[in-house]
Amino acid sequence: MSSTSPAADVTTLPLGGGAGRGVQETDGRSLGTVVHGELISEGLDVPTAPPRRTGAGLAGLEVSHLDRSEKFAMMRAGELGSVHSWELVTAVDGPGTRMTVFLNGCPLRCLYCHNPDTLEMKDGEPVTADQLLTRIKRYVPAFTATQGGLTISGGEVLQQPAFAARLLRGAKEMGVHTAIDTSGFLGAAMTDEMIADTDLVLLDIKSGDPDIYRRVTKRELQPTLDFGRRLARSGLKGGVDPDDPVEVWLRFVLVPGLTDDVRNVDLVADYAAELNQIRPGTVTRVEVLAFHNMGVDKWETLGREYELKNTPPPTPELLERVREQFRSRGLTTY
Ligand code: SF4
């Protein structure tokens, strides 16, 4: 769920082992970081993907030669996924150093989407779960040292639930911390087993008001609300993982003139507090993400109109007001 991220340090690490390490200020994703190696050459019998985010890649992942029907059968089984790219990041997408995998396909159409090139599944590259897990295995020492792990993002991770389930299971078998970054709109596709295999959900709530949510995403809010409540209940006694309950980091993108209404923010904050009433300790962090329109170039490259072209980023005062709305409910907020 690639919406927008807070300005954060993204650490560039050598993926092939060896080379240097650098740090750059970025929006967390779109200027991203890690690229070694080549793209996969074989497509899904669909048009070639549009330009990728600078610095993101599919380094070293290859897929065997399969015909179209074999690929679709593998995708249904979750053995093959449509993947945009992956990268190693620090201080975004969860704790520690993380391998964030961006899947293709998303049912939402957020006005501020920073990665419109991830929206269609057909634009991704075919990568097997085994290939990704082999890659993840290489970084287990780094994950262990930094208390990091795997984050599956997108696009929308739950648009490919079977593939995500395999990655989550495989990572857990290696003892790797797991996170998904999701809008929650397809939360019904996340099985109890997947919840049990997930340590952290980055739950992106675009609005607390259903009408504003619809305006921002072209979709309905209710499935996201239902999903969050299910996550909270899953950690209760008798739930799917009461001994190791899933943690939630709630993310809210603050867009002046669109999502900044006091009542709208109150609704999101009340919801976060409600999750902690269902199960104390569910929402351990709230991230208020400042809108910026750095994604505009991609929209124009794709020939789409970017409606928020003239929308300014929130002022520090507005950010503080909104963060305070969350903090006043006892929520740890950044
Ligand atoms: S359209 Fe999809 S990928 Fe883009 S910000 Fe919204 S949820 Fe994320």
Which residue owns the Cα nearest ligand 1 atom 6?
110
Which residues does ligand 1 sit against, CB inside 6 Å?
1-3, 106, 108-110, 113, 115, 118-119, 154-156, 183
Whole-angstrom Cα Rg for the chain: 19
pLDDT bin (cut points 50, 70, 90) of residue 174 is: very high
Stronger pLDDT, 62 or 85, i.e. the higher one: 85
pLDDT of res. 60: 56
- In this prediction, residues 118-143 reach a mean pLDDT of 95
175-184 pLDDT, tens digit per residue, is 999 999 999 9
Q: Of the candidates 53, 51, 48, 49, which has an alpha carbon nearest to the alpha carbon of residue 34?
A: 53
Closest atom of ligand 1 relative to the 4 alpha carbon: 5
Q: What mean pLDDT, rounded, does the chain reach? A: 84
3-17 pLDDT, tens digit per residue, is 443 333 333 322 222
- In this prediction, residues 212-238 reach a mean pLDDT of 97
Share of the chain above pLDDT 90, in %: 71
pLDDT of res. 293: 83
pLDDT of res. 61: 61
Is the backbone peptide bond immediately before 208 cis, with ω within 30 degrees of 0? no
Distance, CA of 172 to CA of 244 (rounded, Å): 12
Residue whose CB lies within 8 A of the most ligand 1 atoms, among 108, 151, 296, for a mutation test = 108
Q: What DSSP assignment string belongs to 12-42? A: E--SSSSS--EEEEESSSTT-----SPPP--
pLDDT higher than threshold 60 for residue 289: yes
Distance, CA of 150 to CA of 311 (rounded, Å): 33
At 198, is the secondary structure helix, strand, or coil? coil
Going by CATH, does the domain composed of 8-249 fall within 3.20.20.70? Answer: yes
- In this prediction, residues 4-31 reach a mean pLDDT of 28
Least confident piece of the model among 11-15, 139-143, 202-206: 11-15
Share of the chain above pLDDT 70, in %: 81
- In this prediction, residues 37-51 reach a mean pLDDT of 28
Distance between Cα 322 and ligand 1 center (Å): 22
Tokens of 34: 């890690």
Least confident piece of the model among 50-64, 73-87, 210-224: 50-64
- pTM for the complete prediction? 0.85
pLDDT higher than threshold 90 for residue 67: no
Distance between Cα 67 and ligand 1 center (Å): 30
Distance, CA of 151 to CA of 112 (rounded, Å): 21
pLDDT of res. 23: 22
Q: Would you kindly state where each structural domain of the chain is located, as residue ranges?
A: 8-249
